[in-house]
């Protein structure tokens, strides 16, 4: 074990100093920062488009106040006060029909709750309406103050600042408000990150093996350690390197999250709460939930080990970097298929092809990650995907260990598939 750690430590410390790693990490951080603030840009853009909202109020007077307030706050709303009156948070059937027929992008139900306080339920149907939920809440505060004052003659500021506002998703594909607004872009980014990391670091493993063979360090190494230790050390070292990169990029993302939250509380302090203008989503800053990072790391590790063991075996059989090019294109094919399938997940996570794909080893790490990050997946399916990956890793490790023993001291022309099979059998 100590030998494996020594080898892993060398791989790690030598590669972490390389320009490629440093530049890659910086680019990753810049990309996630850029993406995080992209919603600010999107927000600006989407404000140029109108969102049509149906207002359901307990009385025509309240309806008029809400309409007036919102119109003043944001000109991008196209507002309609419907004739139906609300009793509670329920959406009147006629309005629901109109939403389904896409007559409105969203409906806002204002009602008096049990505490006789003005409360709101927001029913977004279209994604653009969903992203406006927090803006809307912020705009509604003056309407609450005016409406409460009208009804009871006095206002209780602390109640009004925290007036009830709930968002009810009508579109079943939305996982939740916060996640939906972020999932598409961020999951896409994380998938890209995972796809590139698995391919890049997998090929690093193969290249590392070939480098050691072609500069003949392998001969010195093999005199000191077993091929299996060499294989394990290399994979663990490069795997830790990849993990470091993910953690740095993830950490940067978490930092943005924390900064946004700090910013929010700062604003609360300064404005005494009245301008509870911004939650982190309200600011338009996109953040990746911690759980998504955890999923990313778990499935990345599964994917990395699946492909790294495979690439190590491939590398052991090659003598020159050129030999790798052909074989690499064959072995990266499953990753590309997995990537394409996981993009389909973003369109519809329930499609049979992606559900099946997420259960098949070699495809499962990416496809299952895309599924868990965008929708609720039955636990047994996640368990099957993980168990399948472990089985694949076990199998590939056995195979790679054998290929390694055969291949590390073999130079010259690459073996034909028939010779490889014979050699594997000879070593069992």
Partner 1 sequence: MLDVSHVSKNFGALRAVDDLSFTAGQGAVFGLLGPNGAGKTTSIRMILDILQPDEGEIRWDGVRVDAETRHTFGYLPEERGLYPKMRIRDQLLFFARLHGMPDVEAKARIAQLAEAFHLQEAIKKTPVELSKGNQQKVQFMAAIAHKPPLLVLDEPFAGLDPINVEIFKRLIRELIAAGTTIVLSSHRMEQVEELCRDICIIDRSKPVLKGNLAEIKRAWPDRFIRMTAIPNTAFLAKFPGVTVLPSENGYSKLKMPPQIAPADILREAVSSAPIDHFEVVEPSLRDIYLQYVRPEEPVA
Residues in contact with partner 1 by CB under 8 A are 2-3, 6-7, 10, 14, 215-226, 409
If the CB atoms of residues 30 and 217 are measured against partner 1, the closer one turns out to be: 217
Provide the minimum distance between the beta carbon of 194 and partner 1 in the complex, in angstroms, as a whole number: 29
If the CB atoms of residues 227 and 250 are measured against partner 1, the closer one turns out to be: 227
Kindly state the tokens that stand for 232.
Answer: 């394990």
If the CB atoms of residues 81 and 222 are measured against partner 1, the closer one turns out to be: 222
Q: Which bin fits 272, alpha (ψ -120 to 50), beta or left (φ > 0)?
A: left
If the CB atoms of residues 115 and 215 are measured against partner 1, the closer one turns out to be: 215
Provide the minimum distance between the beta carbon of 50 and partner 1 in the complex, in angstroms, as a whole number: 60
Provide the minimum distance between the beta carbon of 400 and partner 1 in the complex, in angstroms, as a whole number: 18
If the CB atoms of residues 398 and 410 are measured against partner 1, the closer one turns out to be: 410
Cα 276 from chain centroid (whole Å): 28
- Cα(404)–Cα(410) distance, rounded to whole angstroms? 10
Residue indicated by tokens 């978490």? 254
DSSP 234-252: HHHHHHHHHHHHHHHHHHH
If the CB atoms of residues 3 and 166 are measured against partner 1, the closer one turns out to be: 3
Contact 284, 39 (CB under 8 A): yes
If the CB atoms of residues 19 and 114 are measured against partner 1, the closer one turns out to be: 19
Provide the minimum distance between the beta carbon of 215 and partner 1 in the complex, in angstroms, as a whole number: 4
- Cα(361)–Cα(303) distance, rounded to whole angstroms? 9
Provide the minimum distance between the beta carbon of 311 and partner 1 in the complex, in angstroms, as a whole number: 20
Q: Which residues of 167-191 are buried (b: 16+ CB within 10 A; e: fewer)?
A: bebbeeebbebbbbbbbebbbbbbb
Provide the minimum distance between the beta carbon of 205 and partner 1 in the complex, in angstroms, as a whole number: 16
Q: What is the DSSP letter of 88?
A: S
Coil, helix or strand at residue 220:
helix
Provide the minimum distance between the beta carbon of 312 and partner 1 in the complex, in angstroms, as a whole number: 18
Number of residues that make up the chain = 428
Provide the minimum distance between the beta carbon of 326 and partner 1 in the complex, in angstroms, as a whole number: 25
Q: What is the DSSP letter of 415?
A: P
Provide the minimum distance between the beta carbon of 16 and partner 1 in the complex, in angstroms, as a whole number: 13
If the CB atoms of residues 378 and 417 are measured against partner 1, the closer one turns out to be: 417
CB count within 10 Å of CB 347 equals 11
Cα 359 from chain centroid (whole Å): 19
- Cα(242)–Cα(239) distance, rounded to whole angstroms? 5
Residue 166: beta bridge partners?
A: 121
Q: At residue 106, what are phi and psi to the nearest 5 degrees? A: -160, 165
- Measured CA distances, 111 to 25, 119, 121, 257, 393 (Å): 51, 5, 8, 34, 57
CA proximity to 62, closest of 119, 137, 136: 119
If the CB atoms of residues 383 and 409 are measured against partner 1, the closer one turns out to be: 409
């Amino acid at each position: 074990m100590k030998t494996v750690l020594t080898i892993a430590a060398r791989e790690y410390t030598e590669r972490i100093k390389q320009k490629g790693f440093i530049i890659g990490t910086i680019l990753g951080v810049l990309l996630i920062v850029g993406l995080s603030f992209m919603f600010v840009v999107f927000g600006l853009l989407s404000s140029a488009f109108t969102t049509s909202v149906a207002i359901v109020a307990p009385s025509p007077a309240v309806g008029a106040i809400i309409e007036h307030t919102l119109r003043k706050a944001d000109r991008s709303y196209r507002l309609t006060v419907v004739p139906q009156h609300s009793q509670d948070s329920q959406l009147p059937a006629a309005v629901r029909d109109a939403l389904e027929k896409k007559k409105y992008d969203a409906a806002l139900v204002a009602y008096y709750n049990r505490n006789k306080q003005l409360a709101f339920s927001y029913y977004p149907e279209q994604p653009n309406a969903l992203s406006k939920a927090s803006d809307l809440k912020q705009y509604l505060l003056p309407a609450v103050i005016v409406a409460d004052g009208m009804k009871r003659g006095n206002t209780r500021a602390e109640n009004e600042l925290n007036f009830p506002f709930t968002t009810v998703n009508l579109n079943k594909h939305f996982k939740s408000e916060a996640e939906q607004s972020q999932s598409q872009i961020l999951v896409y980014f994380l998938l890209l990150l995972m796809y590139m990391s698995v391919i890049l670091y997998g090929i690093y493993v193969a290249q590392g093996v070939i480098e050691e063979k072609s500069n003949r360090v392998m001969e010195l190494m093999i005199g000191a350690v077993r091929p299996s230790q060499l294989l394990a050390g290399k994979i663990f070292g490069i795997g830790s390197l990849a993990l470091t990169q993910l953690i740095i990029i993830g950490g940067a993302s978490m930092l943005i999250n924390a900064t946004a939250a700090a910013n929010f509380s700062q604003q609360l302090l300064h404005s005494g709460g009245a301008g509870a203008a911004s939650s982190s989503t309200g600011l338009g800053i996109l953040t990746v939930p911690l759980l998504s990072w955890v999923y990313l790391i778990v499935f990345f590790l599964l994917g990395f080990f699946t492909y790294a063991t495979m690439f190590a075996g491939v590398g052991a059989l090659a003598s020159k970097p050129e030999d790798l090019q052909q074989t690499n294109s064959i072995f990266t094919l499953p990753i590309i298929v997995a990537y394409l399938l996981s993009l389909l997940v973003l369109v519809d996570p329930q499609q049979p092809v992606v559900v099946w794909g997420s259960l098949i080893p070699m495809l499962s790490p990416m496809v299952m990650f895309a599924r868990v990050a965008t929708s609720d997946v039955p636990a047994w399916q996640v368990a099957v995907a993980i168990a399948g990956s472990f089985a694949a890793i076990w199998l590939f490790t056995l195979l790679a260990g054998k290929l390694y023993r055969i291949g590390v001291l073999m130079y010259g022309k690459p073996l034909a598939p028939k010779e490889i099979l014979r050699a594997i059998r000879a070593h069992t």
